[in-house]
């Protein structure tokens, strides 16, 4: 499954990244690469069935 993500560069440094198709699925990182890694984990947790 693939999702579009949106990166926003922050004034204080780093990036915020979110998934428009998944409300509330948001993460951040010091670099685009770390933000992408973090949002992949956030997507996985978002889609994980609740026990």
Cβ-defined contacts of 15-23 (< 8 Å, 24+): 19/43, 19/46, 22/46, 22/47
What pLDDT is stored for residue 30 in this prediction? 98
What pLDDT is stored for residue 51 in this prediction? 66
Tell me the β-bridge partners of 9.
15
What pLDDT is stored for residue 15 in this prediction? 99
CA–CA dist 1, 19 (Å, integer): 13
What pLDDT is stored for residue 50 in this prediction? 73
CA–CA dist 19, 39 (Å, integer): 8
The per-residue pLDDT for range 1-51, each reduced to its tens digit, is 899 999 999 999 999 999 999 999 999 999 999 999 999 999 999 999 876
What pLDDT is stored for residue 49 in this prediction? 85
């Amino acid at each position: 499954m693939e999702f579009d993500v949106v990166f926003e560069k922050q004034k204080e440094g780093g990036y915020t990244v979110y998934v428009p198709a998944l409300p509330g699925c948001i993460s951040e990182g010091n670099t685009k690469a770390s933000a992408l890694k973090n949002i992949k984990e956030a997507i996985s947790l978002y889609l994980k069935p609740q026990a």
